[in-house]
């Protein structure tokens, strides 16, 4: 590997980590500027709808089909075929996203009336009116999301990875700037939806949409250098259209199920939890998915190509070894992250939830055990996709997210208002655990028991280490007794650190070989990044 390639890979890795940290920082800044207030409830509810509808109608299909459709043509140097394919993709994205954005704007009032429920504690009429106006401004996000998704795929197919890695970082910085600019304009009216100054409202709504537009603009600049000379066209090159339809259909059902559960969760939080509950849900979801994005996806991605090659070469022992190592590594590392989350739930809630931290703390405790199941979905699902058993993977995920939705409705209906986020967390833990069990069963059924060898021992280590680490970390948090945001941040670090130390000690005693597996997978991820331009 040349020095230039190594430097480029290092730069991309730094930018990717920076983007993830900026995304989490965006959540923290939101908590300190807008927060779990009536304004925060309107903002979160309205902003959720464009993102979810985009993922259901356009986004998931684009994610899995753009690179496979373009990669071979790019590698063969078929420039005209690439140009025609990208032109058709962009044309169809615009034809779908523009009417969808217009529809969102037209139905903004009934949509927000349905999503916000009774608007307890905020003044329902003013809350719905504010959220509806914000949704009108947020609606164009659908178009920008769609265009950005196509351009990300085009750049990745051309092995230009810096643009897609940089775009989320730029987007988060734009939105953070909007949050900070809002403070002097409208922070005194966060609990008064009807009294919020128009300039403060537009600073938030336009700034957030500008952040999504930044995804597109950041990807557009390097795409222009490819010299594709794109023109509107409806038809794909011969053979491409059928492949596009197949890949889009194969990816649709699991995505629809997951995104539907997210939309339902926001509506249930508003109806069952009252003012600020939807904001608490977004905090909990951001923390719940952080280990998935930072740990599970890199491990699963690093193993995917190797698994596909092993399957193509009929190397069953090699496939089983890779599959088992990936699953065990993900279980141990994400269990450590979930343990730290549970241990630090109290001080974390003090940092994020300024009005009432207790409902968020209970919710985080319910979400924390589900971190492992959610991460296993990434690894075992890719193992099945690598061996062309995507139908099994899709069915398991649809069943899991269906369980999440059913349990969410039942639990939020059954528990008191302050426990709505706890109900959503418990439902997510049960549903993702169900999907993980079904996926593990599918992997064993197709590839044999060796494909998950040692997983039960790693799960036992995760369970015992998780219980011990959570108890130790929460004991430290109680002793710390954070009284404000600054002391709470310190308590998060101390309690989370104590939990990780205890978890690591117990897990190593129960399953010492898992430590070696984790080290091996970490090395594989690093080597893959070094080899990426």
Let me know: does 44 contact 278? Beta carbons within 8 Å: yes
Give the separation between CA 219 and CA 216, rounded to whole angstroms: 5
Answer yes or no: are the C-beta atoms of 348 and 364 closer than 8 Å: yes
| Cα dist from 522 to 303, 324, 400, 526, whole Å | 11, 15, 28, 6
Residue 6: pLDDT above 50?
no
CA gap 445, 368 in Å, rounded: 29
Q: If pLDDT is split at 50, 70 and 90, which confidence band does 10 have?
A: low
What is the rounded CA–CA span in Å between residue 132 and residue 193?
12
Q: What is the pLDDT of residues 384-436, one digit of tens each?
A: 877 877 788 889 999 999 999 999 999 999 998 789 999 999 999 999 999 99
- State how far the Cα of 338 lies from the Cα of 359, in Å rounded to an integer: 18
Q: How far is CA 306 from CA 50, 300, 320, in A?
A: 36, 10, 11
Q: Residue 109 has which token pair?
A: 């009032």
Taking CA 217 as the corner, what is the angle to CA 212 and CA 222, rounded to the nearest 5 degrees?
A: 140
This prediction has a pTM of 0.84
Neighbouring C-beta atoms of residue 105, cutoff 10 Å? 16
| Nearest partner of 371 among 329, 339, 402, judged by Cα | 339
Tell me the per-residue pLDDT of 487-500, one tens digit each, with 9 for 90 and over: 888 889 999 999 99
Tokens linked to 41: 């409830």
Cα 499 to Cα 40: distance, rounded to the nearest angstrom = 32
- DSSP structural state of residue 355: S
Rounded to whole angstroms, the Cα distance separating 415 from 418 reads 8
**What percentage of the chain carries pLDDT values higher than 70?**
85
Element (DSSP H or E) covering residue 300? helix 297-312
Instruction: Tell me how far apart the alpha carbons of residues 237 and 241 are, in angstroms, rounded to a whole number.
Output: 7
- What are the residue ranges spanned by the domains of the chain? 3-530
Place of tokens 């680490």: 469
Q: Check pLDDT > 50 for residue 188.
A: yes
Task: Output the CA–CA distances (angstroms, integers) from residue 204 to 3, 50, 295, 324, 495, in the order listed.
Answer: 44, 16, 32, 46, 34
Q: How far is CA 359 from CA 338, 402, 409, in A?
A: 18, 25, 18
> Which pLDDT does position 67 carry in this prediction?
61
State yes or no: pLDDT of 283 exceeds 60: yes
pLDDT for 166 beyond 60: yes
User: In this predicted model, what pLDDT tens digit does every residue of 335-365 receive, in sequence order?
Assistant: 999 999 999 999 999 999 877 889 999 999 9
Tens digit of pLDDT for each residue in 475-487? 988 877 766 777 8
């Amino acid at each position: 590997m040349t020095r230039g390639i190594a430097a480029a890979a290092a730069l991309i890795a730094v930018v990717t980590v920076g983007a993830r940290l900026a995304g989490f920082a965006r959540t923290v800044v939101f908590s300190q500027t807008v927060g779990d207030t009536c304004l925060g409830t309107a903002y979160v509810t309205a902003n959720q709808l464009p993102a979810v509808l985009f993922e259901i109608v356009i986004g998931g299909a684009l994610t899995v089909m753009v690179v496979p459709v373009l990669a071979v043509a790019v590698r063969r140097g078929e420039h005209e075929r690439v140009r025609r394919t990208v032109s058709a993709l962009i044309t169809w994205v615009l034809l779908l996203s523009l009417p969808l954005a217009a529809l969102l704007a037209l139905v903004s009032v009934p949509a927000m009336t349905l999503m916000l429920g009774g608007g307890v504690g905020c003044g329902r009429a003013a809350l719905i009116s504010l959220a509806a106006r914000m949704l009108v401004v947020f609606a164009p996000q659908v178009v920008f999301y769609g265009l950005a998704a196509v351009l990300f795929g085009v750049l990745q197919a051309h092995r230009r990875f810096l643009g897609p890695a940089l775009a989320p970082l730029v987007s988060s910085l734009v939105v953070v700037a909007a949050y900070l600019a809002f403070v002097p304009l409208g922070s005194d009216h966060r609990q008064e939806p009807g009294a919020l100054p128009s300039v403060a409202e537009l600073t938030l709504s336009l700034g957030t949409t500008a952040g999504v537009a930044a995804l597109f603009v950041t990807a557009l600049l390097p795409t222009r250098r490819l010299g594709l000379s794109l023109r509107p066209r409806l038809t794909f090159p011969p053979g491409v259209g059928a492949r596009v339809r197949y890949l889009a259909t194969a990816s649709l059902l699991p995505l629809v199920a997951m995104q539907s559960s997210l939309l339902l969760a926001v509506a249930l939080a508003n109806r069952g939890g009252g003012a600020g509950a939807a904001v608490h849900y977004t905090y909990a979801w951001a923390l719940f998915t952080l280990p998935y994005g930072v740990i599970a996806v890199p491990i699963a991605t690093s193993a995917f190509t190797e698994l596909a090659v092993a399957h193509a070469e009929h190397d069953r022992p090699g496939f089983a070894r890779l599959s088992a190592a990936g699953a065990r590594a993900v279980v141990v590392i994400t269990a450590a992250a979930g343990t730290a989350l549970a241990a630090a739930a109290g001080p974390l809630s003090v940092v994020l939830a300024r009005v009432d931290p207790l409902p968020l703390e209970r919710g985080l405790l319910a979400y924390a055990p589900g971190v492992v199941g959610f991460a296993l979905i990434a690894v075992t699902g890719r193992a099945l996709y690598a061996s062309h058993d995507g139908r099994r993977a899709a069915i398991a995920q649809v069943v899991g997210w269906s369980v999440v939705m059913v349990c969410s409705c039942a639990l939020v209906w059954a528990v008191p208002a302050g426990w709505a986020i706890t109900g959503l967390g418990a439902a997510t833990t049960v549903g993702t655990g169900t999907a993980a069990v079904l996926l593990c069963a599918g992997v064993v059924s197709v590839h044999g028991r060796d494909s998950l060898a040692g997983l039960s021992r790693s799960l036992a280590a995760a369970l015992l280490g998780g219980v011990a680490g959570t108890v130790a970390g929460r004991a430290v948090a109680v002793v710390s007794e954070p009284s404000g945001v600054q002391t709470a941040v310190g308590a998060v670090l101390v309690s989370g650190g104590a939990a990780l130390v205890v978890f690591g000690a117990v897990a190593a005693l129960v399953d010492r070989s898992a430590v070696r597996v984790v080290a091996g997978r970490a090395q594989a991820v690093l080597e893959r990044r070094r080899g990426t331009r």
